[in-house]
Structure 1
Amino acid sequence: MYHVKKATFTLLGIILVLTLAACGGSSESSSTSEGDGGSSGVQEMTIKISHVVAENTPKHQAALAMAKNIEENSDGKVKVQVYPNGQLFDDKTEVKNLQANNVQFIIPDMSKMVGMNPAFNVPSLPFMFSSNEAAYSFWDGEKGQEIFQSLESEGIIGLRMWPNGPKQITNTVRPIKAPEDLQGLKIRVQGGQVLASLFKTLDAGPLQLPFGQLYTALEQGTVDGQVNTFSNISTKKLGDVQKYITTNWGAARVDYAMLTNKEFWEGLNEETKKIVQAGIDHGTEVARSKAEQLNQEAFKKIKERGKMDIYELSAEERSVFQEALQPVYDEFREEIGADVIKAAKESSAE
């Protein structure tokens, strides 16, 4: 009996030694692999991306590209779920749920972030950016990244700017060629004090309405006109209820902020964060190329349909609008920040 017990204890001891050796070997292998840049050090997780627009938009296509890139480069260890159309959270709840880490990435219109930092009003400032490239330069630059980083106190980290593009102006009354052409017109605005001030300065009446109600409001004459990107004007067939469109307007833009939860982001190890960041960068490239492509195609469709009279502002005519809208800059310079406005203007001058 003694010999049996002794043999049993000896066997258990051998098993314990082998187990400890195996654990030590596994730990060493993981550490080495992480140092070599392999994927064995990638954290296994599922992350969620939520946005409120449809599947056939640059934003959704870019989110899918981001997800695919992350999953492939992590060898499937990081799963990415994309929820369009407000399926997960809508406009009113997505920011709070990001702060609660119920979702790891959201891509809201920057105008929704002005309550946390008024500098997110920059896309609504009249004729601020001369081109898409100027807008990219600002948000990728020092001052744009500083605005993104200001959200950290709210438990949010801003990462990149995803565009929709410059807004054009449409209406049913007359062509818009000069500031005085807007006098007395009722113009639907998306929201925000800057855009409302822009039209008040031009003696027009701004009226805030949800986008889903816009077509009916135009059809019924609740408003005379609106401002939007070519893609939104075309896909929503606003040309059926609007006679005139002024292009090269660009007195405001629609731009999005790619945001993540601070706790989630800081919980990523170096290797995982590198993969996720690469996915975000890839998604940003897709978002920017798709947005420009979609707007160009949409403008082509508007011309082909032939339902709208198109007037393109010249550089001289744009400068007249810029001069007329200088009071908007004066009104919001202190709130947004003179340094922010200066940096944005410099990005257009580059």
Structure 2
Amino acid sequence: MKKQWLLATLFAMCVGGTAANAADKPIELTFSTYLPPAYEYVWKPIENFVETVHKRSDGKVKINVFHSGQLFDGYEELAALSRGDVDMVNMTGTYLSGTIPALNIFTLPFLFQDVAHLRRALEAGLMDEGITEELYADHDTVVLGIAPFDPYEFYSRQQPILSAEDIAGKVWATTGSMDARAIQLMGGSPTGMPSSELYLAFDRGVIDGTPRPLLTGIGRSLYEVTKHLSLANFGVDTSILAINRKKWEALPEDVQNLLREAAKQRDNEQFDRVAEFVKDAVKKFESKGVTVHTIKGEQLQAMRDKTAPAVKEWADQVPKGQQYLDLVNKTKAP
């Protein structure tokens, strides 16, 4: 009897010790982003998001971040998250638009007035028209937050872009189907090209121009190989912070709440950083000898008119397409 009691006691101590160790072990999440730390207005909010989660959880949640495409590039991140190869990602909307056409809403030509307009549309529920549910139901992806890149503008190697006519007859490096279609409607020749290839393509005269955010121009030193930058708010891409659905549902409720709160903080910080970045970036391009132009008035409206078929085509193909557009129009500033 004494021997049995001793064995039972030892067993209980082992089980209890194992349970205590398991309780003490932090929740570890693997986070992947293809973006490098040099893309500061995206990277700093991610850093602060991770730090906030760690501090507020008293170290019970540990997020291991892999940047610069160490695990997956921008086009691979959604599939990797869906499979559960990583727990969290910070995806760029354009890279997902082939899989989820509704995400092209953010890069429809000249749709958003500026980043502030994008913010109003998001706060009014733009993602809830169907994008969030599609990511959840079809891709095992829970959206935690969404923030902007700075707007797409026109870089040109030799001649300034001041009107739709200046787009025509030139070769343009594009990122996705939507900006390619818009360039085509204005008479240009689009060719898909990642940002990593832009510098050499400009330097060798392979391309005449590209629509890209100012962040890309600074990060890829495009001021060394282009002479003109034309501001037009051509499109506003997004930075989507997301987590794998199964991982999410396995987390305690308090950790879920913490992640959502930290993600909201990340969104707000990135919006603020983008606004400041645009002011500084324009000055930097000018200091590097690039001539900066602003397309507005009749010339900007003419560009909208020429690219309007791309907006209609999108709305006709995407479920609730017109509802998305109505919400965007409703949130425009007077």
TM tier, smaller: 0.7 to 0.9
Name the residue aligned to 2:215. 231
Q: Which residue of 2 aligns with 1:211?
A: 195
Shift of residue 331, structure 1, vs aligned partner: 2.0
90 and 234 in structure 1: CA distance in 2 versus 1, 3 angstrom threshold: closer
Shift of 1:92: 3.8
Larger Rg: 1
The answer to whether the Cα contact below 8 Å between 1:109 and 1:254 also exists between their aligned partners in 2 is yes
Residue of structure 1 in register with 2:32 after alignment: 50
Aligned to 1:277: 260
Paired letter, 1:275: L
Q: Which residue of 2 aligns with 1:75?
A: 58
| Partner SS for 1:228 | strand
Contact 2:186 2:303 in 1 (8 A): no
Any conservation in 2 of the 1:43–1:272 contact (CA below 8 Å)? Answer: no
Equivalent residue runs for 1:1-350 within 5 Å: 44-57=26-39, 58-145=41-128, 146-153=130-137, 154-192=139-177, 194-247=178-231, 249-305=232-288, 307-336=289-318, 337-349=321-333
Distance 2:105 2:268 in 1: 21
Alpha carbons 2:156, 2:228 under 8 Å: kept: yes
TM-score (norm 2): 0.88
In 1: Cα distance, 2:240 partner to 2:202 partner: 29
Name the CA distance, whole Å, in 1 between partners of 2:24 and 2:83. Answer: 24
Counterpart residue type for residue 156 of structure 1: T
Whole-angstrom CA distance in 1 between matches of 2:38 and 2:268: 17
Any conservation in 2 of the 1:42–1:74 contact (CA below 8 Å)?
Answer: no
For residues 332 and 252 of structure 1, the distance between their equivalents in structure 2, rounded to whole angstroms, comes to 15
| CA deviation map 1:113-151 (0-9, x unaligned) | 223321100121111111212112223332313312221
SS for the counterpart of 1:198 is helix
- Give the % identical residues: 19
SS of the equivalent of 1:296 reads helix
RMSD: 2.6
2 CA distance for matches of 1:290 and 1:143? 22
Distance 2:213 2:34 in 1: 17
Give the total of aligned pairs: 322
Q: CA deviation at 1:68?
A: 0.4
Q: What residue identity is the alignment partner of 1:317?
A: Q
Q: Which segment drifts farther, 164-173 or 289-298? A: 289-298
| Alpha-carbon contact 2:195-2:216 (below 8 Å) kept | no
Once residues 83 and 275 of structure 1 are traced to their aligned partners in structure 2, the CA distance between those partners, rounded to angstroms, is 21
In structure 2, C-alpha distance between the alignment counterparts of 1:292 and 1:56, rounded to whole Å = 17
- Tell me, yes or no, if the aligned pair for 2:196 and 2:220 is still in contact at 8 Å: no
| C-alpha distance after superposition, 1:76-122 (max 9, x if no partner) | 00011111101122234322221122211111211222233211001
The answer on whether the counterparts of 1:116 and 1:151 sit within 8 Å (CA) in structure 2 is no
Moved over 6 A (4+): none
Pairwise CA distance, 1:42? 10
CA displacement at 1:162 relative to structure 2? 2.0
SS in 2 for 1:321: helix
Query: Aligned to 1:215, what secondary structure does the other structure show?
Result: helix
Q: In structure 2, the residue corresponding to 1:288 is in which secondary structure?
A: helix
Question: Structure 1 residues 237 and 44 mapped into 2: Cα distance closer, same or farther (>3 Å)?
Answer: closer
Q: Take 2:24 and 2:295, find their aligned partners in 1: how far apart are those partners?
A: 52
Question: Given that residues 140 and 161 in structure 1 are in contact (C-alpha distance below 8 angstroms), is that contact kept between their aligned partners in structure 2?
Answer: no
In structure 1, how many angstroms separate the alpha carbons of the residues matched to 2:104 and 2:53? 31
Amino acid at match of 1:313: I
Q: Which amino acid aligns with 1:97?
A: A
